Structure 1
Amino acid sequence: MARTGTAALHGDGQRHGHTTADEDVSQRLLDSAAVLSYDPAVEVDWAAPLDPAHYGLNPEWSTLYGTRLWREMTEEQRVTLTRHEVCSIMSTGIWFEMVLQQMILRDQYLKNHGNAEFRFALTEIADECRHSIMFARACEKMGTPAYRPNRPVAEAGRIFKSLASGELAYGGILVAEEVLDVMQRDWMRGEQVLPIVRATSRIHVVEESRHMKFARQEIRERLRAAGPLRRRTSATGVAIAAAVILTSMVNKGVYAAAGLDTERALAEVRASAHRRAMLRNSSAHLMAFLGEAGLLTRASSAVYQRLNML
């Protein structure tokens, strides 16, 4: 891949301009990874007992917080619910990290391995492997089931990882990373939150900040020569990916695990003004970037509004 402003062939079969500035961004991210990376196997105290009074996430991030049902729940139910919720979110993270690893590998297939972009892409994949193991181990420690996306979502992910390329692939990656990042920045500071969740959140926040910068840079790069039709199509595709990811984060099985009526819980989640506000707040930076990149169209905005992200 040339380190000039000339077009370079990428693995998705499209041509786009890869510049020295792009290469500089990747090199800075590589330098950051060399000095600020973690090994969850030693950074997390896996042997420490779980305090029965500690939540799985800040109560404000529970899907039921602020509802009538939340007020009726016992403290034990609240703790149980938040632990299952955080493990459902972690499980969704594992699923999507496996999707994004395959998309990045496909994108980097036969790329110039002398470039910093190639090396950072593989560094990101190595990070994601560690994160998936870390999340799986945390869920096992908390004693929750391995929550998985339902069959239609799983098949949609299979299609997305096989076909998505360019700004669509990196846009989907950014959506998942940005929303989770805002949540975890709160969890890692939560004094009521389990230390194991605080520690895994801190590791994920630090390392994912590089991944998000890489995704934004890739999106900008792929869209430099994009026309209006491609931008509109990609914007809609990213919005659809956001809908699949966001609606899969919390498995409905978490409510039964806390001894709640599932249908009532789901109804109260849908009606929760607090939940809608939290989703909008967690999506603010993402929406700002998509607008800047030209990926916030009328059609995609309608999807984000239905998701309470906008």
Structure 2
Amino acid sequence: MNADSEERDWYTRAGVRRDPRRLLRDELRGGQLYFPPALVPYGDHPLVRALPAGARDALAARHLFQYLGFTTHFETEVVNRATQRIATGRAGVDSTAATRLDAFRIYCDEGYHALYSFDVIRQIADASGIEPVPYDFTPFRERLDAVGRAALPGEPVLAQLLQVVVFETLVTAILNDVPKDDRVLTVVRQIVRDHARDEGWHHVFFARFFRELWARQSPPERVRTARCLPGLIRNSLLPDLRPVRAALTAAGLGAARVEEVVRDSYPRAATERGMREAARHALRLFEETGVLAVDGARDAFHAAGLLTEAEGDGP
């Protein structure tokens, strides 16, 4: 596909160009769900099931709000922080005009994803009377930035680019599973489906961008990059339990019971399996580009729990 046809496709197919504003239908009184129960790790915990119906309903709504709130912040504070650098030629990479144009398009996409995520939070909060618990994204962003500072000292731009490459090549169940669950509010299924459609193109862009970035790096730069990536993947996928605790507290559970629910609902073995599953496409990209062949890289990915014993041995 040439650049002209890609441009025409974006102007006619990108969500920000073609989709209407998604509006909450009159479904709250009909028992439609805020989020698929299978994707709420603590939803079936005995202490949660014992809560009054209204508290359980608010907890489900706040799980949705947390997902959409995270999306709003991540798209604007992490993805677009790096995407703007690519678009404006300040990424330290000699990108083509076509790549920069695509980056500007992605910048628009991600801003729109943030807009409609926040819009739906407010629509549902206003209609249900359930307010989101306060959410501070800064600790999560700082957790990612700390990985870059440790592995790539003095190279914050490269670290930001790698953050986005990692996150945009991860695959989680939410984008795939939410739109398929007819029990979930229509507006939620619509915006997650809209998001998933755009993210398919973004995945292709950032995988291609990483191949170009990697090809231009010197051997010492490749070593530093390869050893940074496992930490970025891990810290992108580790559950952020602060808002979970806040929501459980708002539902009426005391501190000790909140910790019991969190401990039981996020067991380490299941969390590790989930991270490896979500990272499979990113790991394939890094295998194909030779990242895992760099001295010490495969061991670093293995130590981060992203490769099984067999995978850690290499081909």
TM-score under structure 2 length normalisation: 0.74
Which 5+ residue runs of structure 1 have no aligned equivalent?
1-23
> Residues 191, 121 of structure 1: CA spacing in aligned structure 2 closer, same or farther, 3 A cutoff?
same
The count of residues paired between Structure 1 and Structure 2 equals 282
2:276–2:306 contact (8 Å) kept in structure 1: no
CA distance in 2, matches of 1:80, 1:93: 20
Aligned counterparts, 1:25-174, within 5 A: 29-39=6-16, 42-46=20-24, 48-51=26-29, 53-64=31-42, 67-69=45-47, 77-98=55-76, 99-110=78-89, 115-143=97-125, 144-149=132-137, 151-156=138-143, 164-166=156-158, 168-174=159-165
**Superposition deviation, residue 70 in structure 1:** 5.7
Encode CA deviations 1:98-151: one digit per residue, 9 max, x unaligned: 2221212223334799822111110110111111111111222232235222x5
CA distance in 2, matches of 1:212, 1:301: 24
Which 5+ residue runs of structure 2 have no aligned equivalent?
126-131
**Is residue 243 of structure 1 aligned with residue 234 of structure 2?**
yes
CA distance in 2, matches of 1:140, 1:47: 14
SS in structure 1 at match of 2:181: coil
- The amino acid that maps onto 1:94 is T
2:45–2:261 contact (8 Å) kept in structure 1: no
261-270 or 289-298, which deviates more: 289-298
CA distance in 1, matches of 2:133, 2:30: 18
194-203 or 282-291, which deviates more: 282-291
1:171–1:215 contact (8 Å) kept in structure 2: no
CA distance in 1, matches of 2:2, 2:57: 42
- The amino acid that maps onto 1:85 is H
CA distance in 2, matches of 1:292, 1:117: 21
**Please, which of 223, 248, 262 is the counterpart of residue 214 of structure 2?**
223
- The amino acid that maps onto 2:9 is S
Say what the alpha-carbon RMSD is for the aligned residues.
3.5
1:63–1:275 contact (8 Å) kept in structure 2: no
CA distance in 1, matches of 2:265, 2:3: 41
67-76 or 116-125, which deviates more: 67-76
**Please, which of 246, 249, 258 is the counterpart of residue 256 of structure 1?**
249
**Please, which of 286, 292, 307 is the counterpart of residue 290 of structure 1?**
286
SS in structure 2 at match of 1:42: coil
TM-score under structure 1 length normalisation: 0.75
CA distance in 2, matches of 1:190, 1:124: 28
CA distance in 2, matches of 1:28, 1:171: 28
Residue 20 (structure 1) aligns with: none
> Residues 102, 278 of structure 1: CA spacing in aligned structure 2 closer, same or farther, 3 A cutoff?
closer
CA distance in 1, matches of 2:45, 2:269: 9
Residue 269 (structure 1) aligns with: 265
Aligned counterparts, 1:162-241, within 5 A: 164-166=156-158, 168-179=159-170, 182-241=173-232
SS in structure 1 at match of 2:41: coil
Encode CA deviations 1:10-44: one digit per residue, 9 max, x unaligned: xxxxxxxxxxxxxx676664343122122498241
- Between the two proteins, what is the percent identity of the paired residues? 17
